[in-house]
């Protein structure tokens, strides 16, 4: 099964994706994470994508689609996979369906109002070493600026500043309407409330996924 997580930046796709990964034993493919790693390692891909990411713009559809195509060829994706951050527009949907015409898929939009998303993103800090995500207001680390788990330095993503956040949200709002419509037409679209605790949100997702999996049995 292919699980597509939709939602604005800061809606919790990464956190929920990791929880789905653990519970349903499916690999999570987060295009933003793959791109940020490439930037950090200064690979040709990273160098080509860096400016777009910093500005909050989309990297070329073909580049991102080829990353996903490579990843889903790996054997751990045979039973399915979770997509976080891809597809982000209709062209990417077309490229995805061409690379893997998966018969079973589900698209879940994690809906969070814009004010909440902005608050979450400006207060988000990430451990530069293990990637654990904190919110300095709602889930701060015990020791200021250091990770509770590995002691790594907490950093703010370069694109988590007010101006770039606004641009990322603008792009999201422009593209999401067509994406919703596409998956609605296929009868695989679900929208859940992304506010509340991480566990509460996960419960909402779990109910949908379990009902889909039960139907199959
Ligand atoms: P994210 O971590 O999903 O918020 O992605 C961070 C940044 O990576 C985005 O603002 C884009 O610049 C780039 N990116 C991630 N996924 C995609 C995608 N599917 N298409 C184009 N650009 C992407």
What's the pLDDT tens digit per position in 158-190?
A: 999 999 999 999 999 999 999 999 999 999 999
Question: Whole-angstrom Cα distance, residue 116 to residue 17?
Answer: 19
Q: Does ligand 1 have an atom closer than 6 angstroms to the CB of 31? A: yes
pLDDT at residue 47 in the model: 94
**Ligand 1 atom nearest to 171, measured from its CA:** 10
Give the pLDDT of residue 213: 79
Question: Catalytic positions, please?
Answer: 13, 88, 124, 157, 168
Domains of the chain: 2-212 (3.40.50.300)
Residue pair 3/81 in contact by the 8 Å Cβ criterion: yes
Average model confidence (pLDDT) for the chain? 95
Direct distance between the N- and C-terminal alpha carbons of the chain, in angstroms, rounded to an integer: 13
In tens, the pLDDT along 55-69 reads 999 999 999 999 999
Evaluate: CB of 157 within 6 angstroms of ligand 1. Answer: no
Give the Å distance between the CA of 65 and the centre of ligand 1: 11
Omega before 137 within 30 of 0, i.e. cis: no
State how far the alpha carbon of 89 is from the alpha carbons of 125, 148, 172, in Å: 27, 37, 9
Q: Which tokens hold the place of 196?
A: 């509340």
Residue nearest to atom 5 of ligand 1 (CA): 32
Q: Return the pLDDT at 217.
A: 55
**53 CA: nearest ligand 1 atom:** 12
196 CA distance to ligand 1 middle (Å): 25
Instruction: Tell me, using a 6 A CB cutoff, whether residue 14 lines ligand 1.
Output: no
User: Once rounded to an integer, what is the mean pLDDT over residues 87-97?
Assistant: 98
Q: How many CA atoms, within 13 angstroms, populate the side-chain half-sphere of residue 151?
A: 0
Cα(153) to ligand 1 centroid in Å equals: 23
């Amino acid at each position: 099964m292919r699980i597509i997580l939709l939602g604005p930046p800061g809606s919790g796709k990464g956190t929920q994706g990791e929880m789905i990964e653990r519970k349903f034993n499916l690999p999570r493919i987060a295009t933003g994470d793959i791109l940020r790693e490439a930037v950090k390692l200064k690979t040709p891909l990273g160098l080509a994508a860096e400016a777009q990411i910093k500005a909050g713009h989309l990297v070329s559809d073909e580049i991102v689609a080829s990353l996903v195509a490579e990843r889903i060829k790996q054997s751990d994706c045979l039973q399915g996979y979770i997509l976080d951050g891809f597809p982000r527009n209709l062209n990417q949907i077309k490229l995805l369906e061409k690379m893997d015409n998966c018969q079973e898929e589900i698209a879940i939009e994690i809906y969070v109002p814009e004010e909440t998303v902005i608050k979450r993103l400006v207060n988000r800090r990430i451990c530069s070493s293990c990637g654990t995500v904190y919110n300095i207001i709602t889930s701060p680390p015990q020791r200021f600026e250091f990770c509770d788990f590995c002691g790594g330095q907490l950093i703010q993503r370069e694109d988590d500043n007010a101006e770039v956040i606004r641009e990322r949200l603008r792009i999201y709002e422009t593209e999401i309407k067509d994406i919703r419509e596409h998956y609605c037409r296929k009868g695989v679209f679900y929208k859940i409330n992304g506010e509340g605790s991480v566990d509460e949100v996960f419960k909402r997702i779990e109910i949908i996924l379990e009902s889909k999996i039960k139907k199959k049995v």
